[in-house]
A and B are shown apart, each in its own frame.
Chain A
């Protein structure tokens, strides 16, 4: 193996001494998104690999720098909660794109539609007939005891029975090249603005590359989202419903994204203090008096939406918003209570939901998951912590997580205690060797693990953004890709058919 590799490199070195791929050493085990065996690019990556391969390192570096500068000057930043001052950071961006073949995308597109469809049916069911619970497909106590199950939603029918208008589904690819679903984010998923901005910067930095490769457009996202939101406006809204985006405010880590989306959708960006409810109707406080609001694309969590119903200390929400919502005078997107569908302890049942509601076989598979609430699973998990990834069921962003193989004995002991104290709060999965993509880091070019978060928008109809956020670990060998844990991102290229 290593002899073969050095031979390949000797050849490459002889012909192309200082070009981009010259020193690329593929990962031992993981699936490579660009290259097959012998550093031969996959069919759909030929043009890309060739074009980048002709860049000498110096020119590549120049272009990297101008990409970074573009992000800095445009203030495309996110905030990290632990930093109080100097709160804005750029999301590290790697200019080597992550390609997805047209045929692979066709499969993902169908699989994601199927999944969101089943999740919406599940949500309607658990807030109405509870058929899936009565038939014991999903354990009743897991659903009804979930922190995210909102009793306020029982018996309430949101417009079009749509609960999850926007979902970001995290996919990973195992060492055989199969895509698996890692988790669904059906509350207030973020990151889509980076998908769009990454593309803008890539086009600026590598215009020539886009002439060589046929990449599907991502730029339609804001209009698609707006159309979807318009389609779920209350009947009372009339011909031109008013949509607003509700943000927690300019100190929220995703504020850039909120403002980006509002700007590109042509809607107002509002904070809770800009809205009030009168007679079960929501109004916007404008310089010319109150204005009715019909649809709220909210990026504020359930807990903070209405201090009269949820957390009473919330300054981010709007008093009596839930009353207006339940009266059918305003649509919230996503609906309240969707968290019960992306609870990590419910996730293992999504394949069963697909079979139950749609009578279809799941197109996309889950990563096998141990549910610590089950005594048998719990026993296995606490005995095999060094081989598993443990996750708290309601955390995100890589918080509350144990990476078994790279953990210390004391970290494992700490988790063992936590899990035994509250088993319902934990699930565990075998470690998936995530696929890799060539990535430039401070250590030079090397394979780094990546995941993929596509975005699915549902109103009257469902649309899957052809692309998504590819998050990449920047540390060699690391399997944690979250931006809050120092990960970066890449432009995701869904190739056109026939390319």
Chain B
């Protein structure tokens, strides 16, 4: 498929996934506040940090932070911006995605721009965030059922899972920034509530409790969200999905090195396969997560170079050598 179109498809998917994850953390944080009366800057600043926003004027103002992360058009990672970009990418490749996908995406774009969404945000914020979460889930479902599972679909999945892997790592890293009042508060109700919130923002609360009772709770949650082999939001599972999609696109043969994106991706997957949660805790959980997040960034750049950035000079040299061989 056309490199430029593949890129639009990849980013459409990333933006949709990003909107969903931003809604997830905002919703959970908001719920958490209902239980604990902690100073509010401790509650909202971490959300800015994981979104990469370090210069927000009023980080302790709960409403201002939520507004910034939900509506602000100058904030490229706000929910409204993400949905706008997703829709703009979709509009550019309408001939590639299914009409059903486009229609829903356009519908929700109009929804978030209109008064109904504003009213819902004002009166029932939790339901508003749930609705935003459902947009991505709905469109993925429609795509799965109506779009050909060819190359465009593979790029859709590649974008989705690379973004989700990154978001899960960031959400987990929130805990690092959410300071407990004192070290003695470890394993107190506040600490437990934090871990529960993190699980919930990844829809992992129920699954986690069905299968884990062994480790100390913080370590157990981190282990689950990073390493779980079958939970669809764990970093590892997402990277495996991403790898699968990438191999489908590149047609890479088993045991061959693959392109640059695949090599970096495989390195990260291997590292996560061989490491244990104890290794990560020993190295520092925040430091390990930072390594994961940075590597995912590298993978993003490498995907760009491997698939989207068509190297015309190289291709022309290739064509030239073909012509010479033929003559």
Contacts and interface: CB of A to CB of B under 8 A. Distances in A.
Contacts of A479: none
Interface in A256-311: 259-260, 262-263, 268-271, 273-274, 276, 278-279, 283-287, 289-290
Interface residues of A, number: 26
Interface in B95-123: 95, 99, 102-103, 106-107, 110
B95 A279 contact: no
Interface stretch (A70-78, A413-421, A458-466): A70-78
Contact of B106 (A75, A270, A271, A286): A75
B327 to A, nearest CB: 11
A262 B95 contact: yes
A408 interface: no
B200 interface: no
By Cβ-Cβ distance, the 10 closest A-B pairs, closest first, are A263-B95, A285-B310, A262-B95, A259-B94, A75-B106, A250-B92, A269-B95, A259-B95, A287-B307, A287-B6
Contacts of A269: 5, 93, 95
Given A259-B94, A263-B95, A287-B6, A276 B110 contact: no
A286 B315 contact: no
A113 B91 CA distance: 36
A262 B2 CA distance: 14
B188 interface: no
B262 to A, nearest CB: 13
A290 B319 CA distance: 9
Interface in A137-193: none
Interface of B: 1-6, 88, 91-95, 99, 102-103, 106-107, 110, 151, 249, 307-308, 310, 312, 315-316, 318-320, 323
A290 B4 contact: no
Contact of A279 (B4, B312, B319): B319
Interface in A59-78: 72-75
23 contacts: A72-B110, A73-B110, A74-B102, A74-B103, A74-B106, A75-B102, A259-B91, A259-B92, A260-B94, A263-B99, A268-B5, A273-B4, A278-B319, A279-B319, A283-B315, A283-B319, A285-B315, A286-B1, A287-B6, A287-B151, A287-B308, A289-B318, A290-B315
Nearest to A251: B92
Contacts of A276: 312, 316
Contacts of A268: 1-2, 5, 95
**Chain A contact surface mostly:** mixed
Interface in A323-338: none
Contact of B2 (A72, A259, A270): A270
B323 A286 contact: no
A208 B316 CA distance: 58
Contact of A287 (B88, B94, B249): B249
A278 B317 CA distance: 10
Contact of A75 (B91, B95, B315, B319): B91
A285 to B, nearest CB: 4
Nearest to A264: B95
B91 A285 contact: no
B2 A279 contact: no
Contacts of A263: 94-95, 99
Contacts of A289: 315, 318
Contacts of A259: 91-95
Interface in A65-95: 72-75
Contacts of B320: 278
A271 B4 contact: yes
Given A72-B110, A73-B103, A263-B95, A285 B2 contact: yes
Contacts of B319: 278-279, 283, 290
A289 B93 CA distance: 20
Q: Which of B249, B315, B320 has the most CB of A within 10 A?
A: B315
Nearest to A281: B319
Nearest to A269: B95
A205 to B, nearest CB: 16
B157 to A, nearest CB: 14
Nearest to A271: B4
A274 B91 contact: no
A73 B318 CA distance: 46
Nearest to A284: B2
A315 to B, nearest CB: 14
